[in-house]
Amino acid sequence: KAGVTQTPRYLIKTRGQQVTLSCSPISGHRSVSWYQQTPGQGLQFLFEYFSETQRNKGNFPGRFSGRQFSNSRSEMNVSTLELGDSALYLCASRPTPADRVEQYFGPGTRLTVT
Amino acid sequence: GDSVTQMEGPVTLSEEAFLTINCTYTATGYPSLFWYVQYPGEGLQLLLKATKADDKGSNKGFEATYRKETTSFHLEKGSVQVSDSAVYFCALSDQGFQKLVFGTGTRLLVSP
């Protein structure tokens, strides 16, 4: 079974631009979560989507948004990029939010804002 | 809110040495506990987990025991290898499985 895939793997953007990152979960997994990893703040939860609905949201500004499609693929969008948005963005999937099992992580998208 | 504290790194060891990485947590109720590992340039891989008190998670020679009385989940390995060099993250998932809360990570460097 294929793992979680994220595209693109690397991205360079300029301050003020917007960016869209994509995540395809493991086949059969309907819950997708996003995390931001930075050297200063570590790993922080952004949001989780299940059945095309945002189920839970972390403490991030409204510039960070996401969505989930009927095939469970998810995208996250960051508008009006700031230098501090430079980070590794990780996507994780699990069958459903109620599953008491681990989340499976993708390789991440490395975003650099200049 | 929930939080995880793990020891600062880097931890530098020689091959075949004994490894301990300390992890303590603060949470209400009964969280599930995890250790994830991140190799350079990669995402997170689950190393082991424990879902209730006194459970012992184990994988690839690594072990950790869920200690509710000391709110700890220390990672141990009897004999490390160079290939174990990576960053290790302790994490918890609250009772409602809302999200993972991670520690700051501990970098392990193993020399031949």
Who among A58, A90, A100 is closest to B43 (CB)? Answer: A90
pLDDT tens readout for residues B42-99: 889 999 999 889 999 999 999 999 999 999 999 999 999 999 999 999 999 977 777 8
For residues B28 and B48, give the distance between their C-alpha atoms in angstroms, rounded to a whole number.
22
For residues A95 and A29, give the distance between their C-alpha atoms in angstroms, rounded to a whole number.
4
Residue B36 burial by Cβ neighbours in a 10 Å radius (0-12, 13-18, 19+): buried
CA A35 to chain B, closest CA, distance in angstroms equals: 9
Answer whether B102 sits within 8 Å of A42, measured CB to CB. Answer: yes
pLDDT tens readout for residues A55-68: 989 999 999 999 99
